[in-house]
Structure 1
């Protein structure tokens, strides 16, 4: 007789309001102008970082947009600084933008969503941000219902901001990464072009692959995980360990790059409300305070988080180990330990740093990072909530 489960999953998941995902070689040119036309937009405004802004493929896209191109802001900085997002929004407003096209890594995509937020809700970002109280584990999100210009996202790295209603924008004045949540800024169309992604620098591609792995692992064992998230995250873990290293050995392996681009979709779509875990909160604030890219900090933080969460996620970490190809462990504990070791080995094989000191984080900044982490809304579903800032600081010291 089959045992009857004593409980069923209970929760809530956000389903992004994207209309479609266009994927495959050449979709930068075949899909983006067509989608702008289909939206009825006549003032498309492109947002990129400085390096990609001068790239030949972006220049060709602008030519193909023709009279529908309203302008191009090519100065979005790392971690989407508030001042830069406001400047981009002012430029888009001046250009009369009725559609935004974000092209690039996570900062460019998040920054583009931030521009959409500002164009719809105004420049007072302090009034728009989401707040989190770690003591009550409660998130307060303002009601943001004004119409936003539609966004087309063309990611060139393996981050997942294009499939999320959340954005992390760094406050230049306080050094904190503030979180904003608005379903109205979810990109209407996401374009995954592995030919454009083949131009992404190796270290950036590798580090964002590790961030995608962190997304998958933290979402899989988060308190608000459900069978849908579990299935997509386990497959994402398998793809990272199968395809990431080969895609770096041969950047023109378009098939591997194309499969990896699905990580963004697989680790974010249908995720529960409220973020994913303590590791992400730490990475957000390391980025804001110490200007460390999330992919780099993710490779440092993830193994420590797996160890920290082990007491509360042991059986789940065995399933993670199985997705990595570890199928002969004698116990859940052995499987979990070997999974952690495989993450550390992957980071080393990719040539990425393993400690905070190796990337120039100042020990004197760790208490600030710990304090800011506690207000980061991504902590909400973490399986083992930190007691206080002192416990987070102790973890940071282990990573140092």
Structure 2
């Protein structure tokens, strides 16, 4: 069996044919967004008061506390409504950190939670909310992967505390209901949860807090966003709402990528990235539940393997794990349709008449690799400084990642295909 054939084989699921984009449903929930200079000083307290809270508790990473003044700004803005902070949540939200943070919030009598930082802190705060409010066993409450059956996330019915997210990176986690913590002490290396009640009541995009994020980190979001929007150019939208969001996301990423090179220290392209992340979540909410990519509309996904990489190896940043795999995944994917290939090639400004489908696909992969290398991001797994001996463990980890493998799973075939992909990307 060839590598490409192994990668084509996957979970067999009954997928509804959403062929009519003008027959759809949409859903939303109440939230507020405040963006601007001194948004912490000008908007945070009013949101805490609006939510009826008296003891707001902050979660952040050690670097946010030691390298910025953001915690002090929050404390000054809230005054007597500030109940304390916990700054011991490290990258990928290790389970012991989250448990310790939960106990700190409980001891402080927290009645509102504030996440201050990047995606790790956002998702950790949602898990903390669950641990504070639910009484079940932590592992039993997590998403389960029963053998021979689709993954299932248990219903978590207890009311949750209100949350405000002060996000410092354009993470797609900013207003979602899913979350996960690193749990290397367990066989699945990650505990995943889903509870829409943990979505934030308010988002704050504070210019000073955003500008405190290292430029190299923000560049990674920008570069991957630009490439990701181009690779999604050929996807058919499920309905006009989704189409509008995705088209504007593409425009925002193109503008942000250009502005990043013109003026790296400007706030405008950073806010474009934040806006695109929010629109991506809105597009997901407005999509038809259960809708999947139509055949021939995209390349294979690197999400599962990329997630397994950066969870298992704390030194591997999430943006780098994706870039290290992406060109290889494109090369190894089943060829998309001519329409998709042309749309992607045009989005990357490399379309040429007369090329075969295979030549166009390889040209897209080459261009993606060229961009990553020109921008100083890893374009191969070797550059992540991991060992080939870890490939089986990485492949095994990638089985139990809900966003990439929620359906029926063939573990043996999945592991073979994942190892083959890692080898090809080496």
Give the TM-score normalised by structure 2: 0.81
Give me the whole-angstrom Cα distance separating, in 1, the residues matched to 2:76 and 2:255: 37
Query: Residue 143 of structure 1: CA displacement?
Result: 0.7
- 1:19-46 per-residue CA deviation (whole Å, 9 max, x = no partner) reads 1222233323222222111111111111
8 Å contact kept, 1:283–1:294: yes
- Structure 1 residues 162 and 295: alpha-carbon distance in aligned structure 2, compared to 1, 3 A threshold: same
Give me the whole-angstrom Cα distance separating, in 2, the residues matched to 1:117 and 1:198: 31
- Structure 1 residues 91 and 221: alpha-carbon distance in aligned structure 2, compared to 1, 3 A threshold: farther
- Structure 1 residues 215 and 7: alpha-carbon distance in aligned structure 2, compared to 1, 3 A threshold: same
- 1:37-60 per-residue CA deviation (whole Å, 9 max, x = no partner) reads 111111111111111123123312
Aligned equivalent of 2:297: none
Rg bigger for which structure? 2
Aligned equivalent of 1:140: 152
Task: Report the number of matched residues.
Answer: 394
- Structure 1 residues 330 and 106: alpha-carbon distance in aligned structure 2, compared to 1, 3 A threshold: farther
Map 1:161-240 → 2, pairs under 5 A: 161-174=173-186, 176-212=189-225, 216=229, 227-240=240-253
Aligned equivalent of 2:128: 115
- Secondary structure of the equivalent of 1:139? coil
Give me the whole-angstrom Cα distance separating, in 1, the residues matched to 2:406 and 2:337: 13
- 1:359-393 per-residue CA deviation (whole Å, 9 max, x = no partner) reads 212211111111221221122489xx995210111
Q: Indicate which of 262, 270, 283 corresponds to 2:275.
A: 262
Instruction: Tell me, yes or no, if structure 1 residue 246 matches structure 2 residue 270.
Output: no
Q: Indicate which of 363, 381, 384 corresponds to 1:359.
A: 384
Structure 1: state its 5+ residue gaps. none
8 Å contact kept, 1:130–1:180: yes
Aligned equivalent of 1:316: 340
Aligned equivalent of 1:290: 313
- Secondary structure of the equivalent of 1:153? strand
Instruction: Tell me, yes or no, if structure 1 residue 394 matches structure 2 residue 406.
Output: no
- Secondary structure of the equivalent of 1:177? strand
8 Å contact kept, 1:159–1:211: no
Give me the whole-angstrom Cα distance separating, in 1, the residues matched to 2:18 and 2:85: 56
Aligned equivalent of 1:34: 46
Give me the whole-angstrom Cα distance separating, in 2, the residues matched to 1:11 and 1:97: 44
Give me the whole-angstrom Cα distance separating, in 2, the residues matched to 1:9 and 1:129: 34
Moved more, 225-234 or 280-289: 225-234
- Structure 1 residues 141 and 256: alpha-carbon distance in aligned structure 2, compared to 1, 3 A threshold: same
Query: Residue 213 of structure 1: CA displacement?
Result: 5.0
Aligned equivalent of 2:36: 24
- 1:167-224 per-residue CA deviation (whole Å, 9 max, x = no partner) reads 1211031371232111011111112233321221122112233454576578777899
Query: Residue 135 of structure 1: CA displacement?
Result: 6.4
Query: Residue 285 of structure 1: CA displacement?
Result: 1.0
Q: Indicate which of 333, 338, 349 corresponds to 2:374.
A: 349
Moved more, 19-28 or 180-189: 19-28
8 Å contact kept, 2:60–2:89: yes
Give the TM-score normalised by structure 1: 0.86
Query: Residue 301 of structure 1: CA displacement?
Result: 2.0
Q: Indicate which of 298, 304, 319 corresponds to 2:328.
A: 304
Give me the whole-angstrom Cα distance separating, in 1, the residues matched to 2:257 and 2:111: 37
- Secondary structure of the equivalent of 1:374? coil
Give me the whole-angstrom Cα distance separating, in 2, the residues matched to 1:28 and 1:6: 43
Query: Residue 88 of structure 1: CA displacement?
Result: 0.8
8 Å contact kept, 2:324–2:383: no
